[in-house]
Chains A and B, each alone.
Chain A
Amino acid sequence: MNFPAELQYSRSHEWIRMEDGVAVIGISDFAQSELGDVVFVNLPEVGDDTTAGEAFGDVESVKAVSDLVCPVTGTVCEVNEELLDSPEKLNEDCYGAWIIKVENITETEDLLNAAEYEAFTQEEG
């Protein structure tokens, strides 16, 4: 399983990358593999507020649905609408297929680095 070192990770299996004060958020390789084939992503709208530790959307596989939990408190400034048509990108390239970008960040939950996260997934798995 692949956990790029330049990213940070949440315990609910999202990855996060900071770009000039904007948080880019997606799901980890572990998350996509546990979900199986992703068939749909429910996305928030630009302008929606997010709260650290709370759901901002969800991902559907054929027989399951999982919340997407936001690691930061802020405002959604961009959503990856390509995922609406091609949810399989989350399986094929989970680190390229970001889900949302959040700005005006006021709070960030306690995140893990790649090594810590890998250890965490081994406990979970």
Chain B
Amino acid sequence: MSYVPSTPAERQQMLRALGLRDFRELYRDVPEEMLLDRELDLPKGQSELEVSRRMTQMAEKNTRFTTILRGAGAYDHYIPALVKSIPAKEEFLTAYTPYQAEMSQGVLQSIFEYQTMICELTGMDVSNASVYDGATAAAEAAAMCRDRKRRVTLISGAAHPDVINTVRTYCFGSGDELRIVPVKDGKTDPEALKAMLGPEVASFYVQQPNFFGLFEDARALGEAVHAAGALYVMGVNPIALGLMKTPRDFGADVAVGEGQPLGLPLGFGGPYLGFMATTQKNMRKLPGRIVGETVDSKGERCYVLSLQAREQHIRREKASSNICSNEALCALTAAVYLSVMGPQGLRQAAEQSMAKAHYLQKALCAIDGVELVYPGAFFHEFVTTLPRQEEVLAALEQAGILGGLPVEGGVLWCATEKQSRTELDKAVAIVKEVLAQ
């Protein structure tokens, strides 16, 4: 089955119109010896029903957890029904990049609205139309902050390990240096940061809340960065922004983050959404597509892909990024999520995630041998010690619960608004039971 609509007779008719006998003649430029002289060594094509059966079998091989107490960069929030149905509409789904504004106002306006929402969340002036994920957003931010004189990037050791590794890989690519600022008590060590800042430093990246769930003293870190003449990049959790001060409030020059919590399924890691916003001053350094408002030939308001001369298809090897395809449909999903939740709903999701994580933490830490590892305020993730880790996690799994993620020094737990008190109580009871044995 190849989804080719034309019948064998029609194909022959078209070949004849071209004066050709068979398909092979279409490939006359391909040197004979290179043509594949055999069938592909693959199964033959299957009907929709057969494929559906086979794929469903694979899906069923995965363990379905009813409760997920694991975050670490991918969060199990509730996804409202509308957030699933809108992006599944055939038009949004199957359009290409909106190169032709006259035929793409729906996509362009949705991106313009998304950009506005990201600016509202982050307090920034300008957002791009998205990049691949939070980690690449951090890497792109590091690149946009470098100039001829300042080439070194600093990153907090309390950032997500995938973010650190991705930024490191991008720096390896461009031949620039990445230095990791040490962590003290689960947070960026401010004294170490100050000692590492210098005239060669282009930017410093901090994650808020950080990998261990803790709130960083982000304002003070930013002040140190600015005092050294470098730019301040913050990676933020977008749900936390329903409650927390904006990156702008903390003094950031660039705000980035993983947009997955905004209505995107866990999906074994993707597709997710990298959001990226900055101040007016740095607008033209922002990579990726940006939608702008203008007027059409009749003077009516409309939207276009704008500021394109920054991008690779025009600037080629001088472009600061090679990004072309982005995550537009995920950006649409995030925009629908943010409009369904509204300011109150987002705040509710943030408050409840935080409340449930604290409830879980207290209950877990009431068990002998389970202790909070790091002091300090946290959002919806925290690290505890956990004796007989493997045994406990296995027991939780038996009950359909994905427990916290084993990390250095203990286990990183997460809770969101999605888990009910009953679910949390059940998980705690299992931990207690195993440890009591």
Which residues of A does B touch, CB under 8 Å? 39-40, 42, 60-65
Contacts and interface: CB of A to CB of B under 8 A. Distances in A.
B245 interface: no
Contacts of A64: 309, 314
Nearest to A48: B148
- Interface of chain A, main secondary structure: loop
Contacts of B315: 65
A27 to B, nearest CB: 16
Contacts of A40: 284, 307, 309
Interface string B302-325: 000001110000110010000000
Interface in B285-315: 307-309, 314-315
A60 B309 CA distance: 6
Nearest to A60: B309
A61 to B, nearest CB: 7
Interface in B311-352: 314-315, 318
Contacts of B284: 40, 42
B329 to A, nearest CB: 26
**For this complex, into which size category does the number of interface residues on chain B fall?**
under 10
A104 to B, nearest CB: 19
A42 B314 CA distance: 15
A88 to B, nearest CB: 15
Nearest to A55: B318
Nearest to B284: A40
Contacts of B309: 39-40, 60-65
Contacts of B307: 40
Contacts of B314: 63-65
A62 B309 CA distance: 7
Interface centre among B308, B309, B314, B315 (most CB of A within 10 A): B309
A109 B284 CA distance: 31
Interface in B251-289: 284
A64 B318 CA distance: 13
The 5 closest A-B pairs by CB, nearest first: A60-B309, A65-B309, A65-B314, A65-B315, A64-B314
A62 B99 CA distance: 13
Contacts of A42: 284
Contacts of B308: 62-63
Contacts of A62: 308-309
A61 B308 CA distance: 9
18 contacts: A39-B309, A40-B284, A40-B307, A40-B309, A42-B284, A60-B309, A61-B309, A62-B308, A62-B309, A63-B308, A63-B309, A63-B314, A64-B309, A64-B314, A65-B309, A65-B314, A65-B315, A65-B318
A46 to B, nearest CB: 14
Contacts of B318: 65
A49 to B, nearest CB: 11
A40 B315 CA distance: 14
Given A61-B309, A65-B309, A65-B315, 15 more contacts: A39-B309, A40-B284, A40-B307, A40-B309, A42-B284, A60-B309, A62-B308, A62-B309, A63-B308, A63-B309, A63-B314, A64-B309, A64-B314, A65-B314, A65-B318
A40 B314 CA distance: 14
Nearest to A39: B309
Contacts of A39: 309
A73 B307 CA distance: 31
A39 B284 CA distance: 12
B202 to A, nearest CB: 15
A60 B318 CA distance: 13
Contacts of A61: 309
Interface string B75-94: 00000000000000000000
